[in-house]
Amino acid sequence: MATLSYQRELSITDEYDVVVVGGGSAGCMAAIQAGRAGAKTALIEKNGILGGTTVVASVNFPGLFHAWGRQIIAGVGWEIIEETARRGGAVMPDFSDPYKEHRHWEHQILVNRFLYSTILDEFCAEAGVDLRFHEMPASMEVMNDHVLIAVTGKSGLSLIRAKQVIDATGDANIANMLGYTLESEEQPQPGTLIYGLSGYNLEEVDQEKLVKLYQVAVENGMLLHTDHSPGAIPFLGELRSAGGNRMHITGIDGADSSSRSVAEIKGRQSLMRIYRFLRQVPGCETLEVNYVANECGIRETRRIVGEKKITVRDYVSGEVWSDAICYSFYPIDIHRHGDNTTDIRPLTEGVFPTIPLGALIPRGSDHLLAAGRCIAGDQEASSAYRVQASCMATGQAAGAVAALAAKQDISVREVDVEQVRDLLELHGAIVPYPDNL
């Protein structure tokens, strides 16, 4: 049996007040907020570009920032959206006009991925954040009231030390490394690979012929029924929109590298099935895939077990927690495992869900916070708060808490929530307050 002997003493190369792992919607806002608050901050990102799912998975329609005609999420994330719009990279809907018939997508903001990611670079630089691209934590442990992080990159291993760490991986990877208890579903929601199509003539597509060809393709295994959005005429919506974010990639997890690899392969296999099938359809003989996202979009993997847990009842009732630090707004949005349908349950008009600080803290943690879709909640609630605007809000809150904890040399559980709220409001965030305050 071959063995590999690796013996190398690692010396600490860098020290930070706050280290954020994951450069997506939550992680970028966490790092910028911590940096603006005066904390020496690093942001570790496995890719070479910021933006996470918005950019590399092409879910470039972050929302929702408004509810029932009023803005409920602002702060750092909103600054970046506004700057993207100022540079011609986004068009703002009329937020003063509440969407009709629960059509929540009418308030989504389509952003240009390049401009958005470049503006994130600029905001991080302005906040003094040390961007560490092409790196991932290899191991981590708490020692002498700090967190030691062995980071692997293109040059091998290095060792950094931090007072506080924020898990913005989306999959609770850092909480898992540090041994905190996690929750997951036996059947997580399916993923989606976003793509674009061109080179066909929709006017020449015979819809009756399309349906017949589809039925044969499903029967002989050329297609899966999860490869397209539901509807009487399969793929018609995808052709009308020149692509889609409608396929469901089922039977995947995506929490670790092995399962994530399976998700990426399954996503491309699905798109290849779509491509081969549609090129047989009259009017689509020269159809091309002109764009495919770099990564499969993952909706759900693992969540921390936190000091507090957001249930669907809490979310849909608009519970204002005693330690509420931000709002969230989105319908319950569960993509069903095993088929191509979605369980969408709009919120009651006038309900404004909130997120408690306790849901960002792994139970018993002193040096770790979670932000984004891996915060503590049940599957139904997390199907709503996992969206990008809410991740931005929880990310900024985590950045504020981590900066305060590092500055005061205290546990994240000891940080005064009123100080957190004050710091968030200083940087433009909208903060909920219980009625008794």
Residue 7 has pLDDT above 70, yes or no: no
Give the H or E element holding residue 263: helix 257-278
pTM: 0.95
What is the rounded distance in angstroms from the CA atom of residue 324 to the CA atom of residue 331?
A: 19
Phi-psi region of 42 (alpha: psi -120 to 50; beta: other; left: phi over 0): beta
Contacts of 224 (CB under 8 A, 6+ apart): 218, 270, 273
Mean pLDDT of the chain: 94
| Residues 292, 293, 295: CA angle, nearest 5 degrees | 130
Report the distance separating Cα 77 and Cα 69, nearest Å: 19
CB under 8 Å to 301, separation ≥6 — which residues? 170, 171, 172, 184, 188, 253, 254, 255, 374
Domains and CATH numbers, the chain: 12-185+300-426 (3.50.50.60), 195-292 (no CATH)
pLDDT digits (tens, 9 = 90+) for 270-286: 999 999 999 999 999 99
Helix %, strand %, coil % for the chain, to 5? 35, 20, 45
Residue 104 in this model has a pLDDT that exceeds 70 = yes
Q: Sort strands 130-133 and 136-143 into parallel, antiparallel or unpaired.
A: unpaired
Cα–Cα distance for residue pair 76/390, rounded to 1 Å: 12
The DSSP output letter for 348 is P
pLDDT band per the 50, 70, 90 thresholds, residue 436:
low
Structure tokens at 115: 């401009």
Distance CA 181, CA 158 (A): 27
For 20, the token pair is: 């954020």
Residue 435 pLDDT > 70: yes
d(CA 214, CA 278): 9
The string of pLDDT tens digits covering residues 135-150 is 999 999 999 999 999 9
CA distance 27 to 56: 15
pLDDT single digits (tens) 348-369: 999 999 999 999 999 999 999 9
Pairing of strands 243-244, 195-198: antiparallel
pLDDT band at 5; cut points 50, 70, 90: low
Provide the pLDDT for residue 335. 92
User: d(Cα 309, Cα 319) in Å, to the nearest integer?
Assistant: 12
Taking the CA atoms of 198, 297, 390 and 310 in sequence, report the sign of the dihedral they define: positive
**CA dihedral (289, 290, 294, 298) positive or negative:** negative
Q: pLDDT digits over 379-424, tens only?
A: 999 999 999 999 999 999 999 999 999 999 999 999 999 999 999 9
Tokens representing 420 are 């957190």
Tell me which of 101-110, 188-197, 247-256 is least confident.
101-110
How many CA atoms lie within 13 Å of 381's alpha carbon, on the beta-carbon side?
A: 24
pLDDT band at 9 (very low <50, low <70, confident <90, very high): confident
Structure tokens at 385: 């708060």
Asked if residues 415 and 405 have their Cβ atoms less than 8 Å apart, the reply is: yes
Percent of all residues in the chain with a pLDDT value above 90, rounded to a whole number:
88
Q: What is the pLDDT of residues 146-165, one digit of tens each?
A: 999 999 999 999 999 999 99
Residues 297-320: tens digit of each pLDDT: 999 999 999 999 999 999 999 999
Q: What pLDDT does 230 receive? A: 86
| Closest-CA residue to 396 (of 44, 56, 74) | 74
